[in-house]
Amino acid sequence: MSDDLAIVAEKLDALDELAPRRAEFVLDDVVYLDGNSLGALPAAVPGRVADVVRRQWGELRIRSWEESGWWTAPERIGDRIAPLVGAAPGQIVVGDSTSVNVFKALVGAVRMAGEGRDEVLVDATTFPTDGYIAESAARMTGRTLRPVAPADVPDALGERTAAVLLNHVDYRTGRLHDLPGLTAAVREAGAIAVWDLCHSAGALPVGLDEHGVDLAVGCTYKYLNGGPGSPAYLYVRRELQDRFDSPLPGWNSHAEPFGMRGEYEAAPGALRGRVGTPDILSMLALEAALEVWDGVSVEAVRTKSLALTDFFLQCVAAYVPQGRVECVTPLPHEERGSQIALRCADAGDVMKRLIERGVVGDFRAPDVLRFGFTPLYVGFADVERAARVLGETLA
């Protein structure tokens, strides 16, 4: 059976139009299935960062704010990310962390919704930091916070709803939530939808403009391969930009940032999402990393992602002793992100043993093995090997 699946993997890799992209990353013989936590290093980044440090900072110094384009980096890099999430230019700025951008977006959403709406809904299965931020934002704005499962959001909406914070993909299970349908329901109720795209951007089509999403945030160090702690981004739909009232009105988002005026006047457009001085080193590393997307369609990435996860499940079924693991990721393609989560009683110890054998995924307490599939550099032979090693480890 292993020989048969290895042959299938070889044939699939030979037909893979994205296979050449693997050479654009720094990789070794490890099967790396943790790109949904930290993407691999694009090969162009070290040289670019060296130039930023040695020439732009070391030689040009303060002149680089203008001559090297440092000042415009947040919106310029935002426009590089825009097509990957289905947005037209001029709606995304890069900077700060995901948590900070969730705070900006959620408070901004509540302010746009108006005083008559006193309830905020939050994804009950959300990544913890989103929940923490939502609780604080609700408390600070005098709203009530109500956790709701994404599937139950339409029934929970009402005249009291100000804003709804949702994850596009569940970080534990890999479940893909219905962004078009839920966004439409939120807007129909007169509320503001805020989407966290951390586990979908760079892995599948998002369609922010197409589906009328109001506000969105996301990190860049997972499927976008921006590096550890690389800056996050904030999307504000063009029609809402004049109404977006950021709770963090820093000098970088001022209409005249160098006017040093005592009173605040918000800059036009998406620039309102900026706060303080941009983190240039990590931001320009991200800009270099995004070059691996040149000439790549998100639709092709999605097609390969589904093929990889399907093949992984096929290999797991063939190699892993029956009853040893349970897949908690939905099987229908329309409900699946770009990861597979397997429930396993001794998952923490199993993942340690997998890593020792050169298969890197991650563990989520209490009992989940999580495997992320980054189509730009993961191949079908990687998938077959990972499932085979998992089967041998659990035998």
Residues taking part in catalysis: 127, 196, 221-222, 370
Task: Determine the Cα–Cα distance for residues 125 and 2; give it in Å rounded to an integer.
Answer: 37
Paired tokens of 291: 């070059």
Q: What is the DSSP letter of 228?
A: T
Collapsing DSSP states into helix, strand and coil, what is residue 263?
coil
CA dist 114 to 57, 109, 144, Å? 45, 9, 14
The distance of Cα 253 from the centroid of its chain, to the nearest Å, equals 24
Strands of 326-327's sheet in order across: 326-327, 339-343, 368-372, 362-364
Is-contact 289 225, C-beta < 8 A? yes
Let me know how long the chain is: 395
CA 108 to CA 39: how far, in whole Å? 30
Half-sphere exposure of 152 (CA within 13 A, CB side): 10
- Token readout for 283 is 């931001």
Question: Which CA distances in Å does 261 have to 242, 251, 253, 370?
Answer: 21, 9, 13, 50
